[in-house]
Structure formats: structure tokens, C-alpha cells
Structure 1
Amino acid sequence: MLLAIAATKNWHLKQLDVNNAFLHRDLNEEVYLLPPLGIKVKTGQVCKLVKSLYGLKQARRQCFTILLVYVDDIILAGKSISDIEQVTRHLDKVFKVKDLGDLKFFLGLEIARSNKGIHVSQRKYALNIIYEVGLLAAKPCATPMKKDTKNMFLKGISIKDVTAYQRLIGRLLYLTNTMPDISYCVQFLSQFLQAPTSEHHNAEHRVLRYIKGTPGQGLFFSDNSDLQLKGFCDSDWASCPQTRRSTTGFCVFEGSSLISWKSKK
């Protein structure tokens, strides 16, 4: 959502990294920290981070700077580059941060910006998965899954390395952050994590062969989009032959930019 709004509003996007965010050795002694200035803490009270997105408003100039934090990775977004630089200097005094310049690579997401908008993909991440599985030379597929999935629910030949199947499903789940077209397939195959068969294994590899055809495919946030939210949903009828449960899916757009989606039984 932040990238979609930044594209529409033509905001600057900068990336920071906190130096020495993690301790590298075990502590043998107790350590006590003073609470940040401005926070009143009662005896025995513990402070907890309640959100990862912060807004800093400059009322005199009607500017707004967004601070998005994930562990030691930070994105700064806003209209005023001087305000972003001011926030960066302040953070550097307190935490010692590294200015990585314009946002290009964040948590495995590749961000490319042009005069038409922002494109987000996971091309490198996708190719690494295909390489590790050994399917770089495989023929791409036009669709991620076969239309008929009845064989998936039949008893088949169990695969020996169940953890490999589970690990690959986990990696594909992260890939759905920029590839909503495989969300249904990954959700469907994740139902068989406990006892996958050769059919599930082949279906898993078919998803990778589909991704191989367009590994750089991702999300595009147009700078010509509006800020109106639109939602769509659909559901089938008792598609699971074992439980007779339905599968539902939804997607949410901000203008023409897809910002949220899900597929679930």
C-alpha cells in the first residue's frame, strides 16, 4: 500500500539500514535499559512495539513523512526530500544507520521506478528457487496448475523427503507477495504438507515451471492511479471432495494498483 500511494503521490523513497542491530554474543549478565524520552513507564511495565508504520507530520508546510520499519530495515517516504534527510540525520545520531539511497531492494523485493510508476518483483528470489530445485533447464508451463485436481485427493506414492516439499511450499508462499496468480495453487498444495505424494510433488514443480516462464513478473503501481479502494471476492461451491468446504478468494485495489489478496479454503 505504501508503494502504491508513493507512486500516485510521486513521493521520494529512501532506504536505511541500522548498523549492529543484533548482538553477536550471548550475555552472561543482566542488562537494564532506560525507556525512551517522553515515555512514562510504571514499575514492572514492559513496552511493546505496536506498529511498524509511523507518520511524521510537519503542519507548517503540510508535509508528511512515512517511516516503515522491519527489524533493522527502514523505508522513508515523503514529498519533501529535506524532511527525509532530517529524519535520517536524527536516526543516525540515535541508532547509527546506513543510508542506502533510493529504494531498490527490500526484504527480497526488487523495486524499479520509472516515469510511469513503480514495479515490484522477486525475480532473483524466484530464479534462486528454480536453480536450487534443478529446474533451470525445464520447459516452462503456460498455467500453474492443471484444471482437474481430483488425483490430488487420492492415495498415491508417498515421497521420501517430506521436509523438502514443505520447505518449497514455504518459499512459494513468500513469492506470492508479488505473484498473486500463484496464490490459489500454493494454498491448494499447502493442504497436503503432512503426507505429500508424487502427485503433489509434480504439481509443486509445475508451479515452478510456470514461474520460470516469467520470473520477473510482479506488481505495477501506476502514478496515474486514484486513491479509491475497490474490492472483489468470489467463492466456489464445496470444491473439496473430502471436507465439502468451499474455496474463497478476494483482492483489493487502490485505484488500478493491487494491494491485497488472498485465497483460502
Structure 2
Amino acid sequence: MKLPPSFANCGPSKVYKLQKSLYGLKQVSRQWFARFSSTLISHGFTQSKTDYSLFTRAQASSFIALLVYVDDIVIASDNVAAVLELTQFLNSVFSLKDLGPLKYFLGIEVARSDKGISISQQKYALEILEDSSVLGAKLVLFPMDCNLKLSRGDGELLDDPFSYRRLVGRLVYLTITLQDLSFSVQLLSQFMDSPRKPHMDAAFWVLRYLKSSPGQGLLFPFDSSLKLKAFCDSDWAACPDIRRSVTGFCVFLGDSMISWKSKKQHTVLGLRLRLNTRSSAEAEYRSMAAVTCEITWLLALLQDLHLSHPQAALVFCDNQAALHIAANPVFHERTKHIELDCHLVLEKFTQGLIWTLHVKSAHQLANIFTKALPRLVFHDLMSKMNVINIFHPS
């Protein structure tokens, strides 16, 4: 922005008065969203409290859900006429470009079939493989060697740490649809400050696995039920540097996986040797608390979408001690050290929002989010997660 000729000699006391937000200013995005949301609310929409970018409107003959990300909008409805009326209204207020049925959104490819809706990121995955020059590399069938132990001090420092950070950052976005990369990417992202050669080698191993199925994604079947169930697990004291445990969970709506996470826990457990068994249960209990928070949020989101979920969500855990802590309201010396926020599991259990069940470790789907697994075990768990590759020849 340049000063007009007559304004240059007015002295430093003169300033510009901003009449409206201009593209490039810091407040533009907030002002744009405030205007867009107020326009939708005036048109009868309700803004979700669980996701502020989600707007819904329920009428006698139609239901519309609208999701917005900056200036990209997705509209879902059971009434085509209602969608047409909404787009005409928005076009009268804003200048819109209708891109037709949803096929591509923020790097996510959407496809429909007689079985359901599938999402993948093949185009984005192929771009990563091409930029990393691994299109000619040998394939591997699992994302990380189960015998590999990465540490902060092993190996030589990389001459160009930016390339590692950029690669891992791009892999993080791939985990939106590739849940099998969650643990590997979570582990690799812990060395962003000082990456070393073993870390880069492990990242390239992930790329070689990605090359084997770049079109892999998730299938959401049309005939799936609307019942929440979750699997939670932890790998106790998994970090060799600071001995923190890893939390992993996945949540299904019927047969469709809709949420998952792999994350290092914030606390160090097992400092007292005689309480090692208890500390393992505590790590599992913290994982259960994490998935309980996710279920609570998902239940609220289902309410915003006008979907009823009267029954308790099922939570599967393979640790009997953690299950007893969740269901037993008695606080004794082996559990009184656990922070109160973790006991929200007991609160939600008492309210009937969740129901905890035991599952054998061999059938614990959350294992894939807490540790690197052998190839056969890895693919056995992947086969139970409704993973699909629509680009693979049948």
C-alpha cells in the first residue's frame, strides 16, 4: 500500500481508516467467517458447539449440514431442492462457484459405490513419493520394523534437517485417511528439533510402505449401524528417552472408523518399582480416559446432526485392572494418586454413556496405534478396520 501524493506531507499524525477488511490482513479470516456464519444463522441454520465450522438446519421436509473451511464449503442434504435453494441464497450474498458433487476436498478424494462412500489421498500421496524420489524404491509391507528402537541420541545429525521436517509434516496430513501410519508418524514427529540419520531412514521406510498402496483409504458402508464402539490401548513406558507411555485408540460408528489417535502421554509412570503393575494399569486407564473424551465429543456431534444414540458406547480394553478401576467407585491407595481428570471414565460409566468390556490382546485393534507390529499381525488388524483401496484391481 502506497500513500497518495497529497497525503505524503500531512505529517505522522495522519493514519488510514479501515472501512473493511482487506485481503492479506491478519483479521480477514476472522471477519470473513463472522460474516458467513451470521448470514447462515439468519437463514435458519444453527452453529454447532462441538465444531464451529459445522452448520445444520432441520426442517419438516429436509435436513442440511454445511461444513466450511475458509472459502471451501461442503453441503450434505437429503433434499436436492433444499440444496439448490441454499446455493442460490448464498450466491446472492457471496460470489460462489458450484463445483458439483463432492469428489475432492482439501486433498481428500471422495468416491461413491453401491457399497458406500470411500475417502483416500492418492494424489497427495503420489506427490510426496515423487518429491522424495522414492518411486523406484523397493516396496515394504508394513510401515515400521517392530525391532526398531529410535532414540534422540542415536546416529549422526542430518546436514539438512528442513527436509526431514517437511517430509514428516506432509506425512502428518496423510494420517487423515491412512490410520496405519499414525503410530509411525507420531514417533517420527518427536525428533523434529534434531533429526538424525536413523530417523530419516525410518521416514523413508514409511514412504516405501506408502508406495505399496498410495490409494488406500477408508470405506463408510451405507448399511452400517449408528452405534459407537471404541478400542483403547497403551504401550507402557515405550519411549526409551523419557519413559513415557503411548496412548492409542480408534472409534467406530457401526463398521466405519471415524476417529483415531496415537500420542505420547504427558506423564512419566512407573517410577516406583514395587508399583510397576499398577503403573501399567494407570497407563491403560489414561488411554481409556482419552477415548472417553473423544466419545463424549462424538455423542455431542451426533446430537448436532440430529442422530439419536440412546445406548451406551462400548469401550474395549485388554487390561483387566484398568477395567476394574473404571467400574469400581472405591478409591484405594493403588489408585488415589491418579489425577481427578482421569476419573471422568468413572463418571461417564456411572451416567451410562459408556460401557467397558474386555477384549483379548490378539483382537485389540488399538495395538496398531501404540507400537510397531509384525507384518502378519499388522495386516490381520488392518483387515478388520474397513480399509479399502479403490484403485487396486479386483
Q: What CA distance in whole angstroms lies between the structure 2 residues aligned with 1:26 and 1:214?
A: 52
Give yes or no for contact 2:251–2:257 (8 Å, CA) kept in 1: yes
Local SS of the residue matching 2:99: strand
Q: 1:150-184 deviations in whole A, cap 9, x for unaligned?
A: 25444211111101101111100000000000000
Local SS of the residue matching 2:201: helix
Q: What CA distance in whole angstroms lies between the structure 2 residues aligned with 1:26 and 1:157?
A: 50
Q: Which residue of 2 aligns with 1:30?
A: 18
Local SS of the residue matching 1:243: coil
Q: What CA distance in whole angstroms lies between the structure 2 residues aligned with 1:239 and 1:96?
A: 52
What letter corresponds to residue 199 of structure 1 in structure 2?
P
Q: Which has the larger radius of gyration?
A: 2
What letter corresponds to residue 157 of structure 1 in structure 2?
E
* 1:163 is aligned to 2:159: no
Q: Which residue of 2 aligns with 1:57?
A: 58
Local SS of the residue matching 2:194: coil
Q: 1:193 to 1:181 in 2, by over 3 A?
A: same
Q: 1:122 to 1:189 in 2, by over 3 A?
A: same
Q: What CA distance in whole angstroms lies between the structure 2 residues aligned with 1:145 and 1:234?
A: 19
What letter corresponds to residue 52 of structure 1 in structure 2?
S
TM-score by structure 1 length?
A: 0.82
Q: 1:120-169 deviations in whole A, cap 9, x for unaligned?
A: 00000000000001001111111111112325444211111101101111
Q: Which residue of 2 aligns with 1:146?
A: 145
Please state how far the C-alpha of 1:32 moved relative to its aligned partner: 4.2
What letter corresponds to residue 31 of structure 1 in structure 2?
Q
Q: Which residue of 2 aligns with 1:203?
A: 202
What letter corresponds to residue 241 of structure 2 in structure 1?
Q
Q: 1:175-200 deviations in whole A, cap 9, x for unaligned?
A: 00000000000000111111111100
Q: What CA distance in whole angstroms lies between the structure 2 residues aligned with 1:169 and 1:259?
A: 23
Alignment of 1:78-227 (within 5 A): 78-227=77-226
Bigger strand fraction: 1
State which drifts further: 64-73 or 235-244: 235-244
Local SS of the residue matching 1:141: coil
Local SS of the residue matching 2:145: coil
What letter corresponds to residue 210 of structure 2 in structure 1?
I
Q: What CA distance in whole angstroms lies between the structure 1 residues aligned with 2:114 and 2:238?
A: 44
The structure with higher relative contact order (CA 8 Å, sep 6+) is 1
Local SS of the residue matching 1:247: strand
State which drifts further: 153-162 or 73-82: 153-162
State which drifts further: 92-101 or 147-156: 147-156
What letter corresponds to residue 193 of structure 1 in structure 2?
M
RMSD of aligned residue pairs (Cα, Å): 2.3
- In structure 2, the gaps of 5 or more residues are 4-15, 22-30, 42-50, 265-394
What letter corresponds to residue 170 of structure 1 in structure 2?
G
TM-score by structure 2 length?
A: 0.56
Local SS of the residue matching 2:244: coil
Please state how far the C-alpha of 1:256 moved relative to its aligned partner: 0.5
Give yes or no for contact 2:151–2:241 (8 Å, CA) kept in 1: no
Q: What CA distance in whole angstroms lies between the structure 2 residues aligned with 1:26 and 1:199?
A: 51
Give yes or no for contact 2:155–2:197 (8 Å, CA) kept in 1: yes
* 1:251 is aligned to 2:250: yes
Please state how far the C-alpha of 1:58 moved relative to its aligned partner: 1.2
State which drifts further: 96-105 or 154-163: 154-163
Q: 1:26 to 1:114 in 2, by over 3 A?
A: farther
State which drifts further: 219-228 or 152-161: 152-161
Aligned residues: 230
Give yes or no for contact 2:154–2:198 (8 Å, CA) kept in 1: no
Q: What CA distance in whole angstroms lies between the structure 1 residues aligned with 2:2 and 2:198?
A: 46
* 1:72 is aligned to 2:71: yes
Local SS of the residue matching 1:119: strand
- In structure 1, the gaps of 5 or more residues are 1-24, 40-49
What letter corresponds to residue 58 of structure 2 in structure 1?
K
Q: What CA distance in whole angstroms lies between the structure 1 residues aligned with 2:109 and 2:78?
A: 22
Local SS of the residue matching 2:100: strand
Please state how far the C-alpha of 1:38 moved relative to its aligned partner: 10
Q: Which residue of 1 aligns with 2:294?
A: none
Please state how far the C-alpha of 1:241 moved relative to its aligned partner: 1.7
Q: Which residue of 2 aligns with 1:46?
A: none
What letter corresponds to residue 30 of structure 1 in structure 2?
L
What letter corresponds to residue 147 of structure 1 in structure 2?
C
